[in-house]
Structure formats: structure tokens, C-alpha cells
């Protein structure tokens, strides 16, 4: 596979400053935003966690998974089934348990899929996530095509997640923790080995790295983090349905990672925010001469994606970095 797009691992300082400013804006947002926008931004942050988890596979290890939504959705379902009918569930054990369910699923599927390469990997991850989709879609016991309601937000004792502002800050903290963890991981020996696998897996094996184990570990970790995002999604929306596991969700998260710029996790966050923003923008397009532009949002999204692939394959951060022409880029 030709490496036409070397991911941007180190960010120029100017870009880091911009990102820090954006973080401050996010922290200040609840004091000015209305409830509706608070929820919209919370959702964006949840998707940012989801996108970062995929970036570990896609941008760092070079594994294009077209079935990442399976691990996202399963954790949401786990929360739905953990929560009893009449009372909330404790956050402190249900969150690790739901993440564990996703990690276990990723471990099992990963065991089968990481032995494949290239096109096979793409198709096989997609097919397995579709299997999970049908397991939920076809079985009434698992909610069927209608999905399952989650009547109570998890109970945290120390703080109240029913409060929208508290939930916002909880999600923001989670996003920050995941970002810092993955940044640290990227520069750890394990992260370096994953990058090595992306650049040349054969050479890594020749150097004595067990690439199967490394890839499986990355796949499982990515699944677990996707599960964290799925858990938060379920808790926030109070409802899970098979769409969360589906093909479109998987494709959307790939797009978020590409849109922001792969391989540095900050891009995944930027991508998730931008993608959600665009989705809202396209859906809210006005009606012109009897033709409802917003109803056909998929057309604009589709054209946008095609244009993105042709014009800006390194995403928004890549564009920024090129525009800033910083000497700090091009580390590799």
C-alpha cells in the first residue's frame, strides 16, 4: 500500500495553542450556552472520544476498520441491560463493565481479523460488525429493530449526571483523559511499535516484534475506548438502537478521523466536531423554490466527502499545518 499520506504525529506549536484555546472555550461554554446547545456539544465530545479510539487503529497502526461502531454500540446496549427498570445503576461498576464488554468483543473479533491485511481487513471488520448488528436487530430479546430505552442516567454519588451541565463536564473530562492517555501512548514503546507496523509490518517482524499481539492489543484497546464513548452516548440519549452498531455509524467515524487529520488524536476531536457541525448544517438547509435542500442532506454530505477525498486528504489539521508552513512538521 502506498503511503501517500504520512500522518501528522507532531503538531506545530501554533496549532497546539489554538487547540488549548479551543479547550478553554469548551470549558467556558456551559456558562453561556443554552441547554440545547449544551447537549449538542456533549454529543460532539462523545463522538470525539469515539473518533480518537478509531484513530489509534486507522491513523497510528494503519488498520482501516469499517466496523468500529460495533464496539461503540455494544457498550450502550450493555448500559441498557445493566440498568434495572425502576432505579439508576452505579456509574462506578457499570462503566468499567460496559467498557469490558466492548473490549471482550473487540478481543474476540480482533483475534480473527488482525491476521488479515489491506482490503480483507476492511471487508472483514465490516462483515463482523454487521453480524453484531443482526444479532441485535433480529432478536426481540435484545431489543430488536426498535432498540431499548435507558430510563435513568447512571448514579455517580459524588455528582449528579442528571444535571446537563455536570454531564457536560464529565464528558469533557473523559475526553481530555482519553486524549492525554492516547498522546502518552503514542510516544510510548508500544505506540512506536504500532507506528512501525503502519509504516512497514514486515520489517517490524524482522526486528523481532510480535506484530499479531501488538495489533490485537491495539484493536482491543480501541474497542474498549469506543465502548466508553458508546456508554456515554447511551447515558446521554437514554436510548440505544441497532443503528448505533451499523455500517453508517462506522463509516461516519472514519470520516471524522479523516476530516480532522489522522494519527495525532487532536485531529479526531476536530474532525468529530466539524462532522457533527456539518451534519446539522446540511440538515437545516432551507427550502428553495419548492425543493427542500435540508431533506436531501445526504447528497450534500456525499458530495462533501467526495470533494474532501479529492482536495484535502490530510484533513483540516493537515490543511492548517500546510498553511502555517511550520518547520516543526515533517518529523518523520
Partner 1 sequence: MDFINFLIQLLNSVQYGLLLFMLAAGLTLIFGIMGVVNLAHGSFYMLGAYLAWSLAALTQSFTMAILIGTVLSVLFGLFLEWLLFRHFYKRDHLDQVLLTFGLIYVFEEMRSILWGDDVHGVTIPDALSASIPLTDTLSYPVYRLFMSGVCLLLALGLYLLISKTRLGMKIRAGAFNHEMTEALGVNIKLIHALVFALGVGLATIAGMVAAPVSSVYPNMGSQVLIMCFVVVVIGGIGSVKGALIAALLVGLVDTFGKVLLPQVAGMLVYVLMALVLLYKPEGLFKN
- Which residues of this protein are in contact with partner 1, per CB under 8 A? 1-5, 58, 64, 66, 112-113, 115-116, 118-120, 122-124, 126-128, 130-131, 134-135, 137-139, 247, 251, 254-255, 258, 296, 298-299, 301-306, 308-310, 313
Nearer to partner 1, 47 or 262 (CB): 262
In the block, residue with C-alpha cell 483475534:
111
Nearer to partner 1, 56 or 122 (CB): 122
Least separation, in Å, of the C-beta of 113 and partner 1?
8
Distance CA 108, CA 119 (A): 20
Nearer to partner 1, 4 or 34 (CB): 4
Q: Grid coordinates standing for 100?
A: 469490558
Nearer to partner 1, 139 or 188 (CB): 139
Contact present, 30 and 165 (Cβ < 8 Å): yes
Tell me, rounded to whole angstroms, the distance of Cα 155 from its chain centroid: 25
Least separation, in Å, of the C-beta of 249 and partner 1?
12
Q: Grid coordinates standing for 152?
A: 435513568
Distance CA 137, CA 295 (A): 26
| 240 strand-pairing partners | 148
The angle that helices 266-283 and 315-324 make with each other, rounded to 10 degrees, is 110
Least separation, in Å, of the C-beta of 67 and partner 1?
10
Which long-range contacts link 321-328 to residues 24+ away (Cβ below 8 Å)? 321/8, 321/11, 321/12, 321/15, 321/261, 324/12, 324/14, 324/15, 326/12, 326/13, 326/14, 326/15, 328/10, 328/11, 328/12, 328/13
Distance CA 58, CA 217 (A): 14
Least separation, in Å, of the C-beta of 308 and partner 1?
7
Nearer to partner 1, 64 or 204 (CB): 64
Least separation, in Å, of the C-beta of 123 and partner 1?
4
Nearer to partner 1, 62 or 88 (CB): 62
Nearer to partner 1, 56 or 113 (CB): 113
Least separation, in Å, of the C-beta of 75 and partner 1?
20
Least separation, in Å, of the C-beta of 252 and partner 1?
9
Amino acid at each position: 500500500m502506498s503511503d501517500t499520506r504520512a500522518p501528522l504525529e507532531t503538531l506545530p506549536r501554533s496549532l497546539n495553542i489554538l487547540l488549548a484555546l479551543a479547550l478553554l472555550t469548551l470549558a467556558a461554554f456551559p456558562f453561556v450556552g443554552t441547554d440545547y446547545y449544551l447537549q449538542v456539544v456533549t454529543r460532539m465530545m462523545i463522538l470525539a472520544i469515539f473518533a480518537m479510539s478509531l484513530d489509534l487503529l486507522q491513523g497510528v497502526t494503519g488498520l482501516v476498520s469499517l466496523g468500529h461502531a460495533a464496539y461503540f454500540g455494544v457498550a450502550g446496549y450493555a448500559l441498557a441491560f445493566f440498568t434495572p427498570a425502576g432505579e439508576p445503576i452505579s456509574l462506578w461498576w457499570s462503566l468499567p463493565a460496559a467498557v469490558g464488554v466492548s473490549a471482550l468483543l473487540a478481543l474476540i473479533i480482533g483475534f480473527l481479523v488482525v491476521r488479515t491485511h489491506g482490503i480483507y481487513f476492511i471487508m472483514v471488520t465490516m462483515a463482523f460488525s454487521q453480524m453484531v448488528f443482526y444479532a441485535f436487530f433480529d432478536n426481540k430479546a435484545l431489543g430488536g429493530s426498535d432498540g431499548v430505552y435507558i430510563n435513568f442516567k447512571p448514579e455517580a454519588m459524588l455528582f449528579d449526571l442528571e444535571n446537563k451541565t455536570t454531564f457536560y463536564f464529565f464528558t469533557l473530562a473523559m475526553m481530555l483523559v482519553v486524549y492525554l492517555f492516547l498522546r502518552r501512548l503514542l510516544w510510548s514503546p508500544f505506540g512506536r511499535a504500532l507506528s512501525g507496523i503502519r509504516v512497514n509490518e514486515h520489517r517490524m517482524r524482522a526486528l523481532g516484534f510480535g506484530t499479531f499481539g501488538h495489533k490485537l492489543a491495539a484493536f482491543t484497546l480501541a474497542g474498549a475506548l469506543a465502548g466508553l464513548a458508546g456508554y456515554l452516548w447511551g447515558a446521554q440519549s437514554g436510548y440505544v438502537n441497532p443503528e448505533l452498531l451499523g455500517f453508517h455509524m462506522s463509516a461516519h467515524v472514519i470520516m471524522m478521523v479523516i476530516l480532522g487529520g489522522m494519527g495525532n488524536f487532536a485531529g479526531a476531536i476536530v474532525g468529530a466536531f466539524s462532522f457533527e457541525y456539518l451534519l446539522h448544517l446540511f440538515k437545516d438547509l432551507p427550502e428553495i423554490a419548492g425543493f427542500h435542500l435540508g431533506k436531501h442532506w445526504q447528497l450534500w454530505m456525499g458530495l462533501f466527502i467526495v470533494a474532501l477525498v479529492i482536495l484535502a486528504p490530510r484533513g483540516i489539521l493537515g490543511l492548517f499545518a500546510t498553511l502555517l508552513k511550520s518547520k516543526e512538521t515533517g518529523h518523520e
